[in-house]
Homo-oligomer: A and B are copies of this chain.
Amino acid sequence: MDKQTLFYKLVSFTSSVHRVTHELTKNAKSDSISQAQYNILEYIAVSQPVTPSDISDCQGMAMPNTSRELRKLSEKKLIEKINHPEDRRKQTIRLSKDGEALMNESFSTIESRFLERIQHASKADLEEMDQAIDILQKKLFY
């Protein structure tokens, strides 16, 4: 197993991951938000509470654009902006009740597609996948 062979394998693998992720998430997002807005909500959902700067860094989106999208999400009542008590320049962003509900809906659509995909997996298969994910997460996708 030389490194170059592993690289080619990785290219093919990541392409598969992207394709399958796309299949699982396709149309799972509400039509009322754009893809970028969905990505932001997803990030907030798993990392909240976050600041606009966190979002900007993590999504690779310039601050003015992040600010614009957060304003739209706020207008749609999907997030809440809370002033930081100590540093009044900072904000804390959280999903609103509506935002939580919207993301839960998406996640449950995605989850049921995932369950369909692995419906024929045995207990041993699940165990193997679990371990494989651990290895890759730790050694490659850290």
What is A's interface to B at a CB cutoff of 8 Å? Answer: 1, 3-4, 6-7, 9-22, 26, 42, 46, 58, 60, 107, 110-111, 114-115, 117-118, 121, 123, 125-133, 135-137, 139-142
One complex includes copies of this chain to the number of 2
Q: Is the CB of A137 within 8 A of B16?
A: yes
Of all A-B residue pairs in the complex, the 5 with the closest CB atoms, nearest first, are A132-B132, A16-B141, A132-B135, A20-B141, A1-B126
CB distance B17 to A114 under 8 Å?
no
CA distance A62 to B58 in the complex (A): 30
Assess whether A133 is in contact with B9, with CB atoms less than 8 Å apart. yes
Chain B residue with the shortest CB-CB distance to A122: B139
Closest Cβ neighbor of A107 among chain B residues: B11
Pick from B3, B4, B60, B115: contact of A22, CB below 8 A.
Answer: B60
Instruction: Tell me, in angstroms, the Cα distance from A118 to B18 when the chains sit together.
Output: 21
In the complex the two chains form, is B21's CB within 8 Å of A133's CB?
no
Choose from B10, B21, B46 the contact partner of A12 (Cβ within 8 Å): B46
Checking B14, B121, B127, B136 against A132 with a beta-carbon cut-off of 8 angstroms, the contacting residue is B136
A135 CB contacts on chain B under 8 angstroms? 128-129, 132
| Docked CA distance A7–B114 (Å) | 7
**Chain B residues near A125 (CB, 8 Å)?**
139
